Amino acid sequence: MMLHEYLEDGINNKTLDSIYEIDEVLLKISENNDKVVYFKGQKQYYHDKIATEVEKLDQQNEQYRQLVLNTLKKHDPDTKTFQFPGIGKVQRREGKSSWEIGDENNVISALINLGVDKNELVKVKESVDRRVVKKYMESFIEQNENITGATMKQGQESISITFDDSKSKPKAKGAASVPKTEDAKPKAELRNLDL
């Protein structure tokens, strides 16, 4: 009997005809182990390759978003929302400014010197409550008080892109559609491998 025939109906109580046939089984197990190592390597290779492609596409999309924003700012700086029927819309949003606290000790000392209770600024585990610190910094800066250790980081204008759900959307040139069949699923052997 060939080895693969033993597996067809399950092993259950089957045995080899002789102890001397075990070497064939051991060779088959070794061959399978080599295949597993190969498939695990292949899985990692494709995972890394896919991650690289995703990162590349994300970077391209960020550049495209900047291109759209630059175009809108140049050609129609006063309009905030643009409709593209059948595709979607683009909305310009003002950037939100935020504080970057570089030297926490200086910022906290300055706020305490201005009358803010340290317990309100510092969390129980003795870490700075940046939200509260930033709130107080905003308040004191408006009163022309100088707080060292932090700089104002200006928010950047950005855009929001929303796509229509219609099925008549045009495809990007060269874009392939993903088949929705069983053939499109990864092989079970590859899906179930652990790295």
Tell me the pLDDT tens digit for each residue of 81-122.
988 888 888 898 888 888 899 999 999 999 999 999 988 888
pTM for the model: 0.42
What is the pLDDT at residue 166? 56
**73, pLDDT greater than 80:** yes
8 phi/psi in degrees, rounded to 5: -60, -45
pLDDT band at 11 (very low <50, low <70, confident <90, very high): confident
Q: Indicate if the pLDDT at residue 190 is higher than 90.
A: no
CA distances for 96 relative to 55, 153, 154, 155, angstroms: 26, 9, 7, 5
DSSP 128: B
Average pLDDT, the chain: 79
| Token digits of residue 8 | 């067809």
Please give the backbone phi and psi of residue 61, each rounded to the nearest 5 degrees, phi first: -65, -40
Q: Which residues contact 93 (CB under 8 A, 6 or more apart)?
A: 157, 158, 159, 160
Which pLDDT belongs to residue 177? 44
pLDDT band at 182 (very low <50, low <70, confident <90, very high): very low
